[in-house]
Structure 1
Amino acid sequence: MSSNSEHKSPIPYGRQHITEEDIAAVVETLQSDYLTQGPKVAEFEQAFAKYVGAKYAVAVSNGTAALHLCTMALGVNAETRVITTPITFVASANCVRYCGGTVYFADIDPATALLDIEKVRALLQSKPKGYFHGLIPVDFAGNPVNLEAFRELADEYGLWIIEDAAHSPGGYFHDSQGNKQLCGNGQHADLSIFSFHPVKHIATGEGGMVTTNNEELYKKLLLYRTHGITRDAELLEENHGGWYMEMQELGYNYRIPDMLCALGLSQLARADAGLARRKGIARIYDEAFEDINEVKVLSTNGVVLGKTGDTGHAYHLYVIRIQDRKGLYDYLREHNILAQVHYIPSHTMPYYRQQGYRNGDFPVAEAYYSECLSLPMYPSLTDEEQQYVIEQVKKFVSHGK
């Protein structure tokens, strides 16, 4: 593509990739006996649990439902205080509020944009032991947090952990023994959640998953997912016959239909190929921006992403930081590149300001927000499209508008 050409169709920051195999899988389920509450749900759960290395998986209607079920299963209530990051989609915090708990934010690491464990430690130390009850670290952009370190801190203060892995299926970090720890494998987090929104690695339209190695939590998730109703004869307080069921808890309808699970299974079958493509795209971006001082990329464990081989990053997003973020955002949109901002810090939202938060509370997160921009990142992004994106970023840096 010549330097003077324009891209005729918009290039979004993320997009789903639907194949003929995906369509055939959904059609087959549409022609089956079950559209919902059928065998594809369990099949998807089992396949996904195997993919991330967890014992149990519970498929639900979306990632927010997954988070809500986690807080319910852990017994979050009006006395519960939970720490999370302000740089995330608001659902990571909202799930605590759904159960009446109180959200405390801690600032981020400026290099990675992940929850800063030292800021969390300082917050924990500022209150008596027992004051806080849980942590919700987020694998932001697909960059896995070091859950081993967070687990050690959580154990010291008696906290549970929900890993928000919505961005990181297939991602991993290496623990202190050098072992690969897959996101969602349940080795360090009590519960982990994933999202199957169209821009995510695995798309079902809407959908989510909770993984865990804890059988007690797993059973609670199953109950809360379906109105708190059970038909399990061993759990019933009474039994009037084969039709009988009991609502034993106040649950929700957070089920996911079989046709969406069929799509999820088809997408999961090529998840590794999609992840490899994302990593390849990231390496090209890294190389393109390496010598451009005005463009900064995020890092993991102090290493610039993509430059030392496979870091375990799942690359849901490719985020750059640039001083004139709004200028670049507008310029790219004028040239049919639909870059996006991830995220507006949660504590600056009007709702959380009503909870007592103010601008200036978390300066690292706010500084990050003022400069961050997510460039197109998805497996079907063509080499030509990526080069066009790079070319336009370089043009803006060199000449401005």
Structure 2
Amino acid sequence: MIPYGKQSISQQDIDAVVEVLQSDFLTQGPQVPAFEKAVADYCGAEHALAVNSATSALHLACLALGLEQGDWLWTTPITFVASANCGLYCGAQVDFVDIDPHTYNLCAQALETKLQQAEQDNRLPKVVVAVHLCGQPCDLQAIHALSQKYGFKIIEDASHAIGGKYQGEPIGNGRYSDITVFSFHPVKIITTAEGGMALTNSAELAQKMDLLRSHGITRNPELMTQKPDGPWYYQQVDLGFNYRMTELQAALGLSQMQRLDEFVARRHQLAQVYNEQLADLPITLPWQHPDSYSGLHLYVIRLQLDKIGKSHRQVFEELRTAGLGVNLHYIPVHTQPYYQNMGFRQGDFPEAEAYYSEAISIPMFHGMSAEQQKEVVNTLTQALGHGF
């Protein structure tokens, strides 16, 4: 089976982890801040906070921005459920904005229309989570302009997008957002096994997230309510969580960062081959906005079902049976039973639902060989051969 995504682990990565295993620190040592600095420096952000998952980073970002009961968080329906769930964790209500049919990201025009109505209804969002699907950045400049007009905060869910660029600048620099979140899950562009990171240019937001990721406990006398009783002293000043990243994870991430540009460049090479060799098939290939340099975490095709003579499910199952580990990113969040119980219904976001009815993520990862890619092309061509 050729997987849709797979980590690339080098001997250098292994050596970095073994070195930590042989050191005095397995958690809360020097590797975590070193990894944070490497990512912050790469992206051009002031602060970076490593955590145990991107889901945790999203939760901390929402809390730091003051999201609470009575507030609204908006995001795209085409994302992993964590992009929406982070609002529910804070007691807020969640709503969605339909996608752009070309980029598959949250549509800035649909957002503006929804904001105009929400202003009349006194239901404006406090936070908008803009997801960079497949690694292609959203229309951040337009979303930011709307945030200035309507007063919401922006979280970039860049779980797919480290190493990418928007308008020639690194994703994660915070020019058009308050907080950016990265994921380091094994199928992502770089990995720490599990792990995530939140980047911001605000010292206040960074301090809040830093406190909350470790039980709300501080050893900083400036944040305490009294003078320390002694050098052992700490205070819990907020209700936090155990969202810390380990030294082992950080060491792996720090090593992987040295190959980040190589990883993304290789994905672009693979995408170019797909673009050329799949161009004549009855599918819609990924479109890249000229303002963006995608991290290309995923390569998503859309089936032109009216030209194929097979159902979406038939094609998907044929590809799986033939040994391709294809996947579908994602099932629209508003169609999940948990969200349907909140009142969302089929038909609420037609562009997202149309995408779901046609989309398939085909294999693409750094270590993919020319033979593997040829097999993907040939298998897909055969599966779609009917209807030419």
Superposition TM-score tier, normalisation by shorter sequence: over 0.9
* 2:224 maps to amino acid: L
Structure 2 length normalisation: TM-score? 0.95
Tell me the equivalent position of 1:64.
55
Contact conserved, 2:20 with 2:247, CA < 8 A, in 1? yes
Pair 1:102 & 2:93 matched: yes
Contact conserved, 2:137 with 2:292, CA < 8 A, in 1? no
Contact conserved, 2:67 with 2:127, CA < 8 A, in 1? no
Tell me the equivalent position of 1:43.
34
* 2:129 maps to amino acid: I
SS of equivalent residue, structure 1 residue 374: strand
Q: What is the CA deviation profile of residues 50-78 of structure 1, one whole-angstrom value per residue up to 9, with x for unaligned ones?
A: 11111110000001000000011011111
* 1:372 maps to amino acid: A
Unmatched segments (≥5 aa) in structure 2: 306-310
Tell me the equivalent position of 2:159.
166
Superposed, 1:221-370 pairs within 5 Å as 221-238=209-226, 239-292=228-281, 294-301=282-289, 311-322=292-303, 323=305, 324-370=311-357
Tell me the equivalent position of 2:207.
219
* 1:206 maps to amino acid: E
* 2:357 maps to amino acid: S
Superposed, 1:62-101 pairs within 5 Å as 62-101=53-92
Pair 1:54 & 2:42 matched: no
Question: Following the alignment from structure 2 to structure 1, what is the Cα–Cα distance between the partners of residues 86 and 162?
Answer: 20
Question: Following the alignment from structure 1 to structure 2, what is the Cα–Cα distance between the partners of residues 149 and 45?
Answer: 29
SS of equivalent residue, structure 2 residue 385: helix
Contact conserved, 2:108 with 2:139, CA < 8 A, in 1? no
Question: Following the alignment from structure 1 to structure 2, what is the Cα–Cα distance between the partners of residues 329 and 68?
Answer: 34
Equivalenced residues, count = 378
Unmatched segments (≥5 aa) in structure 1: 1-9, 175-179, 304-309
Contact conserved, 1:85 with 1:115, CA < 8 A, in 2? yes
Question: Following the alignment from structure 2 to structure 1, what is the Cα–Cα distance between the partners of residues 32 and 205?
Answer: 19
Structure 1 length normalisation: TM-score? 0.92
- Alpha-carbon RMSD across the aligned residues, in angstroms, is 1.2
Question: Following the alignment from structure 2 to structure 1, what is the Cα–Cα distance between the partners of residues 366 and 7?
Answer: 9
Tell me the equivalent position of 1:128.
119
Deviation for aligned residue 1:325? 2.3
Deviation for aligned residue 1:311? 4.5
Question: Following the alignment from structure 1 to structure 2, what is the Cα–Cα distance between the partners of residues 380 and 95?
Answer: 33
Instruction: Report % sequence identity.
Output: 46
Question: Following the alignment from structure 1 to structure 2, what is the Cα–Cα distance between the partners of residues 354 and 203?
Answer: 35
Tell me the equivalent position of 1:150.
143
SS of equivalent residue, structure 1 residue 203: coil
Deviation for aligned residue 1:168? 0.2
Contact conserved, 1:135 with 1:162, CA < 8 A, in 2? yes
Pair 1:188 & 2:181 matched: no
Q: What is the CA deviation profile of residues 13-52 of structure 1, one whole-angstrom value per residue up to 9, with x for unaligned ones?
A: 0011111111000000010010001110000000010111
Deviation for aligned residue 1:83? 1.2
Question: Following the alignment from structure 2 to structure 1, what is the Cα–Cα distance between the partners of residues 292 and 90?
Answer: 36
Pair 1:137 & 2:130 matched: yes
Pick from 196, 199, 203 the counterpart of residue 208 of structure 1. 196
